[in-house]
Amino acid sequence: MIKSMTGFGRGHKVLNGRDITVEIRAVNHRYYEFSARLPRSLGYVEDKLKSMLQGRINRGKVEVSVLVCNVAAADEKITINKEIVRDYVEALRSVKDEFSLQDDLSLSNILRIPDAFTVVKEETDEEQLWEDIKSAAEEALDHFIAMREAEGERMKQDVISRLDRIEEWVGTVEQRSPMIVEEYRRKLYDKMCEVLESTSIDENRILMEAGIFSEKTAVDEETVRLRSHIAQFRTMLESGEPVGRKLDFLVQEMNRETNTIGSKVQDIEVTRIVVDQKSEIEKIREQIQNIE
């Protein structure tokens, strides 16, 4: 399936107490170029993301951004400083009898003891975090590819309609070519009659001149090659492989054949066709520059 090189996709997951968002965007580029916007702590996933995307993206300037937020203290652990709590409790109870105090110590009292609790940041399980990021990245990639395919299908239909138009013009040139030779022969005959007046006209000379003109203006080879290029173009558009570079080569060849026809045939109608055809080929070239 034809794919555009431009696209965007977002994936969002909440896994293992983390809110993870991955975004993938790309514009056209001759090769596959990857860049990532990551927190410094996630630097180790850059190469993993690059390899993962390269398996499904062949061309384009691709940028990936990753945002990870802790929503359930996934990397934190609370510990109780038992020695400190014990010292506070023993100190309070030592004065209970001396001052006739009621022993109403409870857990809520312990919460108020300074330094009774410590929040410790646990070491991140990098493999688990990568698996979570990968899950969000796969979702983003699916959306990204779907957008590329939709845009690619639109471009494909536009190119096919232009190829159909060019093929019609090629047929017109093929029909017009013999008529141009006949018109040249007739004009040559009339001109010689005008110049020579009553002198007899050498029909063989007329036929010979017309034959030479026919050889110089023959475009059979060019139109045959143009039809072949158009057929190859359609075949490649239907293939499931990346064909952007191959299509670019075919466009150059189609433009070359069209220019040759224009230089060989000095005819108003053919000249008009050549101008229109070059315009359509240029529009096709602009489209395929964005095809993967």
pLDDT number for residue 122? 60
pLDDT number for residue 199? 54
Lowest mean pLDDT among 93-102, 146-155, 212-221, 256-265: 212-221
Q: Contact at 8 Å (CB) between 159 and 284?
A: yes
Q: Contact at 8 Å (CB) between 218 and 266?
A: no
- Does the model's pTM come out above 0.75? no
Residue 20 lies in a domain: yes
CA nearest 247: which of 278, 211, 291, 205? Answer: 291
Asked if 201 and 178 sit in the same domain, the reply is: yes
The CATH number covering residue 30 comes to: 3.30.230
pLDDT number for residue 163? 96
Tokens 């022993």 belong to 103
Asked if 68 and 170 sit in the same domain, the reply is: no
Residue 2 lies in a domain: no
Residues in contact with 19: Cβ distance below 8 Å, sequence separation at least 6, in sequence order: 12, 68, 69, 70, 71
Tell me the per-residue pLDDT of 3-31, one tens digit each, with 9 for 90 and over: 899 999 999 999 988 899 999 999 998 88
Q: Tell me which residue range forms the domain holding 258.
A: 150-288
Give strand pairing partners of 8: 25
Is the pLDDT at 120 greater than 70? The verdict is no
Residue 213 lies in a domain: yes
